[in-house]
C-alpha cells in the first residue's frame, strides 16, 4: 500500500517507536505515584520526552511541556486558558474545527476570520494587520493548512501580535517535525501539536507548549500537593490529572529522537520535493485541478489537494484505495479553509506525505490518478 494520509496521522513510524512502546508496557508503571523502579523508569521517560520537545521547539524550561491526548486536547486547553467571555478572537481563514468549534462553543465570544486567498502569504499577513484592532484579545493561527499545505506567514503574524501586545496561540499540527517551530522566536503564549503526525509518536499523544498561565480542563490526582482540594498551580502538574499514557510517551520520545537525528530541515525539504513532483505530475493530467503553490514559492509543505473533473472526491478516494493508495477526501475537518479557497461545496482529495514516502511512490500515485481519467 502507498500511504498518502500522513496529515491525518503517520502510519509508518521508525522501528524504535514500537520497540520503546513495548518496552514501556513491560517495564514501566505510573510516574510520580511511587518510588519503586517501574515508577522511576516511567518518570525518567516522561522527563526525557519533555526535554527532547523542549530542545526541538526552542524552549528552555521542560516543565512547560504538557502531555495531551492529541492536538485538539492541547488547543482546547490553550483556548480555554486564554479566551474569556466577552473577548474578540482573530483566527486565520485556514483553521481546523479543533480551533473554530472550540471558539464557537464559548459563550459570548466574537470570532473574526482573516480570510485570504490560498498561497498568498503577503495578503494573509495584510488581512491580519487590518483585522488586528484594539478589541482583539487573542489570535489563534494554524502554521500550515491541513487541507492545502499552505504555510501561513506565521513569523509576520507573530511579530504583529508582539508589537500590539496580543496573545498568540499557534496550531502546529501540520508543521511540528517538518518546519522550524520556535516558541521563543514567535513569543507565542501557547503552541499546540499532535504527537502522532510529524513527530512519529503513536495516536493518543499530543503536546502543549506553554508560556502562559493555564486553566485545567480536568481535575484529579497528580501525585503532588495531594492535601490540597485544588489542582497544583505549577506546570506540568496543573494540566496533567490522572495516569499518564506512558507507552505513548515512550513512543513519542523515540519519534522525537528520530526527528532530531534526521533533522527537521531534511524532513521538510524531502516532503516539499515529493509534493512539488506530485503537483507537476498531476497538473499534466487533463481534467485534474491541482491546488499547488507557484513553483519555488516556499509556501507549501507536504500536503496537496486536488479535484478530478466529473468525479466526486469520495469516488476518487475509493478508486485510489482500490488501487492500493490511501488518500483522504472531503472537507478534512476544516470548512473554513475550503471557504477561503472556494472548495466548500465539492471538498478535495488530499495526498500528504511523510519522511517515509519515496519518489517512486509518488510516480505510482500519479499513474493511478491518470488511470482514473481513462
Ligand atoms: N489542527 C490541524 C491543523 C490538524 O490538521 C489537525 C488534525 N487533522 C488538528 C488540529 C487536530 O489534531 P488531532 O487529531 O491530533 O487532535
- What is the pTM for the complete model shown? 0.98
- How far, rounded to the nearest angstrom, does the alpha carbon of residue 270 sit from its chain's CA centroid? 18
Cα Rg of the chain (Å, integer): 21
Q: Regarding beta strands 303-308 and 348-352, do their DSSP bridges make them parallel or antiparallel, or are they unpaired?
A: antiparallel
Segment (H or E) for 307: strand 303-308
pLDDT of residue 373: 80
Give, for ligand 1, the residue of 10, 72, 141, 206 to mutate: max count of ligand atoms closer than 8 Å to Cβ: 72
Q: Is residue 219 very low, low, confident or very high in pLDDT (cuts 50, 70, 90)?
A: very high
pLDDT per residue as tens digits for the range 131-172: 999 999 999 999 999 999 999 999 999 999 999 999 999 999
pLDDT per residue as tens digits for the range 127-138: 999 999 999 999
Q: Is residue 374 very low, low, confident or very high in pLDDT (cuts 50, 70, 90)?
A: confident
Task: Return the sign of the alpha-carbon dihedral for residues 58, 59, 62, 63.
Answer: negative
pLDDT per residue as tens digits for the range 90-104: 999 999 999 999 999
Secondary structure (H, E, C), 44-111: HHHHHHHHHHHHHCCCCCHHHEEEECCHHHHHHHHHHHHCCCCCEEEEECCCCHHHHHHHHCCCCCEE
Task: Return the sign of the alpha-carbon dihedral for residues 255, 274, 8, 82.
Answer: positive
pLDDT over 70 for what percent of the chain? 100
pLDDT of residue 335: 95
pLDDT per residue as tens digits for the range 286-338: 999 999 999 899 999 999 999 999 999 999 999 999 999 999 999 999 999 99
With a 6 Å cutoff on the Cβ, whether 171 touches ligand 1 is yes
With a 6 Å cutoff on the Cβ, whether 189 touches ligand 1 is no
With a 6 Å cutoff on the Cβ, whether 208 touches ligand 1 is no
Amino acid at each position: 500500500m502507498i500511504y498518502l494520509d500522513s496529515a491525518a496521522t503517520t502510519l509508518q513510524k521508525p522501528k524504535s517507536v514500537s520497540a520503546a512502546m513495548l518496552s514501556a508496557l513491560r517495564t514501566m508503571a505510573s510516574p510520580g505515584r511511587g518510588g519503586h523502579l517501574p515508577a522511576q523508569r516511567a518518570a525518567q521517560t516522561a522527563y526525557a520526552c519533555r526535554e527532547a520537545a523542549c530542545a526541538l521547539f526552542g524552549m528552555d524550561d521542560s516543565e512547560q511541556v504538557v502531555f495531551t491526548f492529541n492536538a485538539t486536547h492541547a488547543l482546547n486547553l490553550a483556548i480555554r486558558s486564554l479566551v474569556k467571555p466577552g473577548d474578540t478572537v482573530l483566527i486565520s481563514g485556514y483553521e481546523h474545527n479543533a480551533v473554530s468549534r472550540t471558539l464557537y462553543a464559548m459563550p459570548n465570544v466574537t470570532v473574526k476570520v482573516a480570510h485570504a486567498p490560498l498561497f498568498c502569504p503577503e495578503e494573509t499577513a495584510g488581512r491580519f494587520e487590518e483585522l488586528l484592532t484594539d478589541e482583539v484579545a487573542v489570535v489563534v493561527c494554524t502554521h500550515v493548512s491541513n487541507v492545502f499545505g499552505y504555510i501561513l506567514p506565521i513569523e509576520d503574524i507573530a511579530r504583529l501580535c508582539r508589537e500590539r501586545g496580543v496573545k498568540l496561540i499557534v496550531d502546529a499540527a501540520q508543521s511540528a517535525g517538518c518546519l522550524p517551530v520556535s516558541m521563543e522566536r514567535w513569543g507565542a503564549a501557547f503552541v499546540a501539536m499532535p504527537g502522532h503526525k510529524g513527530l512519529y509518536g503513536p495516536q493518543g499523544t499530543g503536546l502543549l507548549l506553554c508560556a502562559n498561565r493555564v486553566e485545567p480542563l480536568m481535575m484529579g490526582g497528580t501525585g503532588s500537593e495531594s492535601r490540597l482540594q485544588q489542582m497544583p498551580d505549577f506546570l506540568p502538574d496543573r494540566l496533567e490529572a490522572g495516569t499518564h499514557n506512558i507507552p505513548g510517551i515512550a513512543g513519542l520520545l523515540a519519534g522525537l529522537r528520530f526527528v532530531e537525528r534526521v533533522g527537521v530541515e531534511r524532513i521538510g525539504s524531502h516532503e516539499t520535493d515529493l509534493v512539488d513532483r506530485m503537483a507537476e505530475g498531476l497538473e499534466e493530467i487533463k481534467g485534474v485541478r491541482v491546488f499547488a503553490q507557484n513553483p519555488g514559492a516556499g509556501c507549501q509543505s507536504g500536503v496537496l489537494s486536488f479535484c478530478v473533473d466529473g468525479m466526486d472526491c469520495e469516488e476518487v478516494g475509493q478508486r485510489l484505495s482500490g488501487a492500493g493508495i490511501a488518500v483522504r477526501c472531503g472537507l478534512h475537518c476544516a470548512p473554513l479553509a475550503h471557504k477561503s479557497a472556494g472548495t466548500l461545496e465539492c471538498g478535495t482529495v488530499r495526498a500528504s506525505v511523510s519522511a517515509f514516502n519515496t519518489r517512486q511512490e509518488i510516480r505510482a500515485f500519479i499513474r493511478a490518478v491518470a488511470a482514473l481519467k481513462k
